[in-house]
C-alpha cells in the first residue's frame, strides 16, 4: 500500500469516530453514500470491515462492530464497487495471495500495481429528493463506506425491527381501547341516564286520547284515561235532525257502548320497557323527534244504528209523483196537465259512515239529514213538450168585389171544417173529404166567383181555394208530408207565386200525411182583424222536430211570359153590349210566370240550414178579352120638307 493512500483511509475512519479501529487492516471499500444532511440510521459504518479486507490482515474472524444507528436520509449519489466475478461452479472467491500485498486498492475493491492508475469506478446517479433544502459542500460530503452484515447481524437487526413494530402496534391497540373505552363509557352512562327516566313510569311524548302519560305509572295512566272515557261516554249524545224539524237522539246506551283502555296502554308501555338495553334506548330516543298517539278502543252494537237509520229512512223518504195528461175539451189541444211532484231519498250508507266516525271519537253533536231530491220520471214540462205549436199560417180575405159576402161565408165554412181535427200518426188527410162537396147545398156553400180554366166564373164554394192554400203553407211549415197538390192556372192574390193549392169537387184535391209519429192537432180560426179585414188562420200542434227545425216555402220567378194579343168575342146574348159598334173588355189579360219553389229549412234560431228545390210552377199568360155587340144600329132617315 502506498503512502498516499494511508492518510486517505485514515481520514475516512476519523469521519466516523464511533467505529472500532483495526490495526494494520486496511478497510475494503464497500458502498459509499453521500447524503445531503446527516447520515441515515440504516447505513453501516465504513470501519466495519469483513471479507477480503479481514483476510488481508490475517484475521480469520475479526471483531464485529454493531451498526451505528444514525438519522436516515435519502442518498444523493451511490458509488458501487464492481462486483467480484465468482469462480465457475459457484465457489466463493479465492483469498488474495501474499504477492498482492504490494498492490493498492482503489475504491470499488479493484486492485492495481504500484505506479499504475486505477480505473475510475462506475457511478450511479440518483436524483436528490425534493426537500427544499439548500445543498452545501458540507451536505454533499461523501459518507464512509457501508460494511456488509453477517447473517447473525441481519437476524438481530430484523428481530429488533419486528419487536419495534409489535411494540408500536400494541401501543396503537392500547390507545384505541382506551379511546373506545372512554366513548363506550360515555354511551353507557347516557343509556343508563336515559332509561332511568322511565323507571316504573311512561316515557315522554306518549299520549292516549290526547292525555300525556309521561311520568305516570300503568295504574295512574289507566285511571286517568278511564275517567276521561267514562265522562265522554256519559255525555255522548248524537242528534239526527231533518230540515222539517223532526229529530232522533242516539246515546251510548243505545249502542251498548264499551271501551278497552288496557290494550292501548300495554302497547305504549312496551316503548322503552321491552327488549335489550340498546333497543330500549333507541326507542326512547325516537320519542325525542316523534310523539306516539293512541286512542282507546270502543266497541258498540252496529245493529242498533242500522235499526235507527232504517226507521228514519222510512219516515223521511217519499216517492215522486209523475205528471199526467188529462182530456179537456175546453182546451186545445184538448188536454190539461197535473203537476209532477219530486220525491226524496235518504242515503243511510253515507249517513252510517258519518255516525260511526263520530261514535269512534265520542264526538257529540247534531247531524243534519239532507235527503236528495228524486225527480219524477214524467214531468209536466215533458208532457207539455210533447205537444207544441209546430206552425201557424194565415191569409187575409178581400172585402171588395162581386159576391164578396158569399166568398167570406164559403171561407168561414171551409176553415171551421178543420178546427180541432186530430190526425193520428201515419194518417193521411184529404181536403175534399174534410170540407165536403161544395156543390152539395147541405154543406152550406154559397155561389161565388171561382177560377176555372183560366177565368173567373160563378160556382158554388167560390173562395174555398184560399182555405186549401192557407192549410198547404201551414202543413209545409209543420214539416208534414204533402202527397197531392195542384197549382192554380192563374196567380192568386192571397199567397205568393208557387205557394197556392187549388181544389175542386171532382178532379183536384190537396192531400197530406202525418209523418211525426205522434198525434197532430189542427186549430183554425176565421176572424176579423183590426183593419176590418177578415182572415183565415191554421195552427198545427204536435211532437216537435227532433232537430228543432221549422220549414217554409220561398219562390223565385225564373221567367215572365208576355201578355198575348187580345181576343174579341161577339156578345150574342147582349150581356155586355148590344150594338156592333160597342165593345166591352171583360178581361184585361195578365203576364204569365215560370216559378221555382224552394223548401227552406231553419234551425231553432231561425237561421237557414238547407234550401232544396221543391217544385216548379208555370202560370200561363192571360189573353185580354173584349165582347162586341152583334146588333147593327139603324141608320136614321133624314127628314124632308116634302
Summarised one tens digit per residue, pLDDT across range 295-322 is: 888 788 878 778 888 888 998 999 999 9
Could you tell me the residue range of the domain that residue 114 belongs to? 6-84+100-149
As a dihedral over the C-alpha atoms of residue 65, residue 71, residue 77, residue 79, rounded to 10 degrees, the angle is: 0
As a dihedral over the C-alpha atoms of residue 475, residue 478, residue 483, residue 485, rounded to 10 degrees, the angle is: 30
* Ranges 144-153, 358-367, 514-523, most confident: 514-523
Residues 6+ apart with CB under 8 A from 30: 44, 46, 81, 145, 146, 147, 148
pLDDT for position 640: 66
Say if residue 268's pLDDT is above 50.
yes
- 353 versus 302: the higher-pLDDT residue is 353
Tell me the pairing of strands 75-79 and 123-125. Answer: antiparallel
Say if residue 111's pLDDT is above 60.
no
Beta bridge partners of 447: 460
- 115 versus 219: the higher-pLDDT residue is 219
The reply to whether 357 and 501 lie within a common domain is no
Residues 29, 26: Cα–Cα separation, whole Å: 9
Counted domains in the chain? 4
pLDDT for position 449: 72
Predicted confidence band at 639 (pLDDT cuts at 50, 70, 90)?
low
Query: Do residues 30 and 147 lie in contact, with contact meaning Cβ atoms separated by under 8 Å?
Result: yes
The reply to whether 120 and 268 lie within a common domain is no
Q: What is the CA radius of gyration of the chain?
A: 70
The reply to whether 248 and 382 lie within a common domain is yes
pLDDT for position 190: 86
Residues 86, 109: Cα–Cα separation, whole Å: 14
Which of 2, 17, 52, 23 is closest to 144 using CA atoms? 17
- 279 versus 540: the higher-pLDDT residue is 540
For residue range 594-604, what is the model confidence (pLDDT) as tens digits?
A: 999 999 999 99
Q: Is residue 191 domain-resident?
A: no
Say if residue 272's pLDDT is above 80.
yes
Pick from 348, 365, 386: which residue ends a domain? 386
Say if residue 263's pLDDT is above 60.
yes
- What is the percent of the chain where pLDDT is above 90? 44
Residues 317, 322: Cα–Cα separation, whole Å: 16
The reply to whether 461 and 333 lie within a common domain is no
pLDDT for position 455: 63
Residue 269 burial by Cβ neighbours in a 10 Å radius (0-12, 13-18, 19+)? buried
The reply to whether 379 and 401 lie within a common domain is no
Mean pLDDT, rounded, for 316-330:
94
pLDDT for position 398: 87
Location of C-alpha cell 464497487:
81
Q: Is residue 182 domain-resident?
A: no
| Helix/strand/coil percent split, the chain, to 5 | 30, 30, 45
Exposure string over 144-182, b if 16+ CB within 10 A, otherwise e: bbbbebeeebeeeeeeeeeeeeeeeeeeeeeeeeeeeee
Pick from 544, 565, 593: which residue ends a domain? 544
The reply to whether 618 and 512 lie within a common domain is no
Query: Do residues 113 and 102 lie in contact, with contact meaning Cβ atoms separated by under 8 Å?
Result: yes
pLDDT for position 15: 40
What are the start-end ranges of the H helices in 236-274?
262-269
**Lowest-pLDDT range of 11-20, 75-84, 220-229, 525-534:** 11-20
Say if residue 131's pLDDT is above 70.
no
Residues 443, 414: Cα–Cα separation, whole Å: 10
For residue range 531-560, what is the model confidence (pLDDT) as tens digits?
A: 889 999 999 999 999 999 999 999 999 999
Which of 593, 611, 372, 362 is closest to 500 using CA atoms? 593
The structure's pTM equals 0.55
Beta bridge partners of 34: 77, 142
Pick from 386, 405, 440: which residue ends a domain? 386
Amino acid at each position: 500500500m502506498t503512502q498516499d493512500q494511508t492518510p486517505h483511509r485514515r481520514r475516512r475512519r476519523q469521519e466516523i469516530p464511533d467505529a472500532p479501529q483495526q490495526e494494520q487492516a486496511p478497510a475494503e471499500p464497500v458502498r459509499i453514500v453521500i447524503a445531503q444532511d446527516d447520515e441515515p440510521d440504516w447505513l453501516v459504518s465504513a470501519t466495519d470491515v469483513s471479507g477480503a479486507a479481514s483476510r488481508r490482515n490475517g484475521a480469520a474472524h475479526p471483531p464485529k462492530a454493531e451498526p451505528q444507528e444514525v438519522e436516515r436520509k435519502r442518498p444523493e449519489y451511490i458509488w458501487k464497487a464492481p462486483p467480484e466475478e465468482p469462480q465457475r461452479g459457484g465457489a466463493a472467491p479465492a483469498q488474495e495471495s501474499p504477492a498482492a500485498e504490494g498492490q493498492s486498492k482503489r475504491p470499488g475493491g479493484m486492485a492495481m500495481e504500484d505506479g499504475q492508475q486505477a480505473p475510475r469506478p462506475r457511478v450511479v446517479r440518483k436524483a436528490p429528493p425534493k426537500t427544499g433544502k439548500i445543498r452545501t459542500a458540507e451536505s454533499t460530503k461523501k459518507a464512509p463506506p457501508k460494511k456488509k452484515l453477517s447473517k447473525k447481524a441481519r437476524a438481530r437487526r430484523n428481530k429488533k425491527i419486528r419487536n419495534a413494530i409489535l411494540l408500536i402496534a400494541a401501543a396503537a391497540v392500547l390507545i384505541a381501547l382506551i379511546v373506545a373505552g372512554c366513548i363506550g363509557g360515555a354511551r353507557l352512562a347516557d343509556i343508563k341516564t336515559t332509561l332511568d327516566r322511565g323507571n316504573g313510569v311512561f316515557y315522554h311524548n306518549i299520549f292516549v286520547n290526547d292525555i300525556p302519560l309521561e311520568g305516570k305509572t300503568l295504574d295512574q295512566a289507566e285511571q286517568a284515561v278511564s275517567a276521561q272515557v267514562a265522562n265522554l261516554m256519559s255525555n255522548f249524545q248524537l242528534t239526527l235532525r231533518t230540515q222539517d224539524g223532526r229529530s232522533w237522539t242516539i246515546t251510548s246506551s243505545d249502542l251498548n257502548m264499551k271501551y278497552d283502555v288496557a290494550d292501548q296502554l300495554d302497547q305504549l308501555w312496551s316503548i322503552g320497557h321491552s327488549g335489550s338495553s340498546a333497543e330500549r334506548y333507541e326507542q326512547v330516543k325516537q320519542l325525542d323527534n316523534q310523539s306516539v298517539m293512541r286512542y282507546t278502543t270502543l266497541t258498540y252494537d252496529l245493529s242498533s244504528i242500522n235499526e235507527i237509520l232504517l226507521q228514519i229512512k222510512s219516515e223521511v223518504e217519499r216517492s215522486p209523483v209523475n205528471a199526467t195528461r188529462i182530456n179537456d175539451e175546453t182546451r186545445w189541444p184538448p188536454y190539461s196537465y197535473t203537476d209532477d211532484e219530486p220525491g226524496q231519498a235518504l242515503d243511510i250508507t253515507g249517513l252510517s259512515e258519518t255516525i260511526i266516525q263520530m261514535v269512534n271519537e265520542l264526538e257529540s253533536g247534531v247531524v243534519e239529514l239532507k235527503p236528495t231530491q228524486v225527480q219524477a220520471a214524467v214531468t209536466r214540462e215533458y208532457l207539455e213538450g210533447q205537444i207544441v205549436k209546430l206552425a201557424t199560417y194565415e191569409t187575409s180575405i178581400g172585402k171588395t168585389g162581386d159576391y164578396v159576402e158569399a166568398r167570406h161565408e164559403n171561407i168561414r165554412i171551409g176553415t171551421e171544417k178543420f178546427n180541432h181535427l186530430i190526425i193520428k200518426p201515419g194518417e193521411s188527410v184529404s181536403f175534399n173529404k174534410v170540407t165536403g162537396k161544395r156543390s152539395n147545398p147541405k154543406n152550406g156553400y154559397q155561389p161565388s166567383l171561382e177560377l176555372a180554366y183560366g177565368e173567373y166564373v160563378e160556382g158554388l164554394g167560390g173562395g174555398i181555394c184560399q182555405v186549401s192554400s192557407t192549410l198547404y203553407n201551414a202543413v209545409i211549415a209543420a214539416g208534414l208530408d204533402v202527397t197531392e197538390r195542384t197549382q192554380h192556372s192563374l196567380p192568386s192574390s192571397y199567397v205568393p207565386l208557387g205557394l197556392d193549392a187549388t181544389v175542386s169537387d171532382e178532379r183536384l184535391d190537396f192531400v197530406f200525411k202525418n209523418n211525426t209519429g205522434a198525434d197532430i192537432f189542427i186549430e183554425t180560426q176565421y176572424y176579423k182583424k183590426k183593419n176590418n179585414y177578415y182572415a183565415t188562420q191554421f195552427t198545427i200542434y204536435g211532437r216537435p222536430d227532433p232537430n228543432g227545425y221549422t220549414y217554409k216555402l220561398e219562390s223565385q220567378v225564373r221567367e215572365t211570359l208576355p201578355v198575348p194579343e187580345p181576343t174579341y168575342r161577339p156578345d150574342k146574348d147582349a150581356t155586355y153590349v148590344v150594338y156592333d159598334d160597342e165593345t166591352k173588355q171583360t178581361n184585361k189579360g195578365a203576364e204569365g210566370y215560370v216559378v221555382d219553389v224552394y223548401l227552406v229549412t231553419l234551425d231553432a234560431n231561425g237561421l237557414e240550414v238547407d234550401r232544396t228545390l221543391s217544385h216548379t210552377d208555370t202560370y200561363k199568360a192571360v189573353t185580354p178579352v173584349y165582347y162586341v155587340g152583334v146588333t147593327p144600329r139603324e141608320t136614321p132617315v133624314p127628314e124632308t120638307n116634302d
